[in-house]
């Protein structure tokens, strides 16, 4: 005789399968959902006005509002129809959307217990997110709290259909930097000088728009990056290129050097020097001259002329 409780085993559920298939058809690789979650965090941080870039800098009331914003932004992006009794209608079935920053922390209200739920998890600190579909059977839920809401019992989390599990969230550059680098950026004079310090500290990685806005805290934040008075002018004397996502030439340089390729609204700062003949590391050519990434002790080259070359035709997405 088996010792396994039959109620603990997932049973075939065609409605779960159909909803899961519909969600995957809308976003097969999860990139659209990941961007919705990234944009939602940035929306609640409101870095341009507040300078914030992490959950722990939000007020408690703002944190509780994240789930609502996620639901609103998901519906706006994917155009889910309204459900009759729950949040959305997907593949013709009512689905309740639930967000939790902690995996497994979803609070299931009475009206959604035993119903189809879209379980969304995103953690900006770990830059990971998950999305699954589950029929929240009562026997899979914990005892109710005083509001009669229930969480999913940990042994039953695997009963959900996980479409994406610990998928990468677009990086929040400021949050991902070491604390010492964050402090150095905050200590720099406001505006262009502070944005320049962000770019120094984030050399070789993607710098997202919201990190730039939270650093500059000015309405014309993106101007603080570019040449003609921006961080690019300051950093050109140190051998930096600020590769923007709206220029094909800059995207090519990033690709050549094995760096993340910037998209619209983001930059990849990289320090370069002249490449020797036969250099083994990745090399890029700018205006016919070979360059590689700078190493300690290398010659420092002024990149102001290179910046002008790279500010050529915009990329199609730009």
User: 3-class secondary structure for the chain?
Assistant: CCCCCHHHCCCCCHHHHHHHHHHHHHCCCCHHHHHHHHHHHHHHHCHHHHCCCCHHHCCHHHHHHHHHHHHHHHHHHHCCEECCCCCEEECCEEEEEEEECCCCCCCECHHHCCCEEEEEEEECCCCEEEEEEEECCHHHECCCCCCCCECECHHHHHHCEEEEEEEECCCCHHHHCCHHHHHHHHHCCCCHHHHHHHHHHCCCCCECHHHHHHHHCCCCHHHHCCCCCCHHHHHHCCCEEEEECCEHHHHHHHHHCCCCCCCCCCEEEEEEEECCCCCCCCCEEECCEEEEECCCCCCCCCCHHHHHHHCCCECCCC
| The predicted structure's pLDDT at residue 2 | 37
| The predicted structure's pLDDT at residue 4 | 39
Q: Is the dihedral of CA 27, 266, 313, 275 positive or negative?
A: negative
Q: Is 245's pLDDT higher than 50?
A: yes
The 10s digit of each residue's pLDDT in 186-220 is 999 988 999 999 999 999 999 999 999 999 988 77
Phi first, then psi: give them for residue 154, nearest 5 degrees.
Answer: -55, -40
| The predicted structure's pLDDT at residue 17 | 97
The 10s digit of each residue's pLDDT in 105-163 is 999 999 999 999 999 999 999 999 999 999 999 999 999 999 999 999 999 999 999 99
Question: Confidence band (pLDDT; 50, 70, 90) for 16?
Answer: very high
| The predicted structure's pLDDT at residue 227 | 73
Q: Residues with Cβ < 8 Å from 300, sequence gap 6 or more?
A: 238, 239, 273, 294
| The predicted structure's pLDDT at residue 315 | 58
The 10s digit of each residue's pLDDT in 78-107 is 999 999 999 999 999 999 999 999 999 999
Question: Can you tell me the distance from the alpha carbon of 240 to that of 257, in angstroms, rounded to the nearest whole number?
Answer: 14
Q: Is 24's pLDDT higher than 90?
A: yes
Question: Can you tell me the distance from the alpha carbon of 220 to that of 210, in angstroms, rounded to the nearest whole number?
Answer: 13
Q: For domain 6-168, give the CATH number.
A: 3.40.600.10
Question: What is 173-310's CATH number, 1.10.3720.10, 1.10.1200.10, 3.40.50.10470, 1.10.10.10?
Answer: 1.10.10.10
Q: Is 12's pLDDT higher than 90?
A: no
Average pLDDT over every residue of 2-10: 47
Q: Is 7's pLDDT higher than 90?
A: no
Mean residue pLDDT of the chain comes to 92
pTM: 0.86
Q: Is 182's pLDDT higher than 60?
A: yes
pLDDT more than 90, % of the chain: 84
The 10s digit of each residue's pLDDT in 271-317 is 999 999 988 999 999 999 999 999 999 999 999 999 988 876 565 55
Average pLDDT over every residue of 54-66: 92
| The predicted structure's pLDDT at residue 5 | 47
| The predicted structure's pLDDT at residue 3 | 41
Average pLDDT over every residue of 154-180: 96
Question: Confidence band (pLDDT; 50, 70, 90) for 251?
Answer: very high
230: number of CA atoms within 13 Å, CB side?
A: 20
Average pLDDT over every residue of 171-195: 94
Q: Is there a contact between 250 and 226 (Cβ–Cβ < 8 Å)?
A: no
| The predicted structure's pLDDT at residue 198 | 97
Domain boundaries, the chain: 6-168, 173-310
């Amino acid at each position: 005789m088996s010792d396994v409780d039959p109620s603990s085993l997932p049973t075939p559920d065609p409605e779960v399968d159909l909803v899961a298939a519909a969600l995957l058809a809308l976003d097969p690789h999860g990139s659209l959902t990941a961007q919705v979650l990234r944009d939602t965090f940035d929306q609640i941080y409101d870095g341009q006005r507040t300078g914030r870039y992490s959950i722990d800098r939000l007020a408690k009331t703002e944190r509780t509002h994240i789930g609502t914003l996620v639901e609103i932004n998901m519906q706006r992006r994917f155009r889910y129809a309204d459900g009759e009794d729950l949040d959305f209608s997907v593949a013709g079935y009512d689905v309740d959307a639930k967000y939790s920053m902690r995996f497994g922390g979803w609070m299931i209200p009475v009206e959604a217990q035993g119903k189809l739920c879209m379980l969304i998890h995103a953690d900006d600190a770990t830059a990971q997110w998950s999305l699954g579909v589950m029929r929240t059977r009562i026997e899979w839920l914990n005892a109710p709290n005083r509001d009669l809401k229930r969480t999913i019992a940990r042994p039953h989390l695997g009963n959900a259909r996980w479409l994406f599990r610990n998928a990468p969230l677009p990086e929040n550059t400021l949050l991902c930097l070491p604390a010492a680098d964050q402090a150095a950026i905050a200590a720099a004079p406001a505006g262009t000088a502070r944005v320049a310090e962000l770019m120094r500290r984030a050399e070789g990685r993607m710098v997202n728009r919201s990190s730039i806005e939270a650093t500059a805290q000015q309405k014309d934040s993106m101007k603080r990056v570019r040449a003609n008075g921006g961080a690019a002018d300051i950093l050109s004397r140190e051998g930096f290129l600020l590769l923007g996502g709206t220029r094909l030439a800059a995207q090519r340089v990033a690709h050549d050097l094995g760096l993340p390729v910037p998209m619209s609204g983001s930059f990849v700062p990289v320090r370069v020097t002249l490449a020797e003949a036969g250099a083994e590391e990745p090399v890029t050519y700018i205006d016919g001259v070979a360059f590689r990434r700078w190493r300690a002790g290398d010659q420092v080259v002024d990149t102001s002329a290179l910046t002008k070359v790279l500010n050529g035709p915009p990329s199609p997405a730009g």
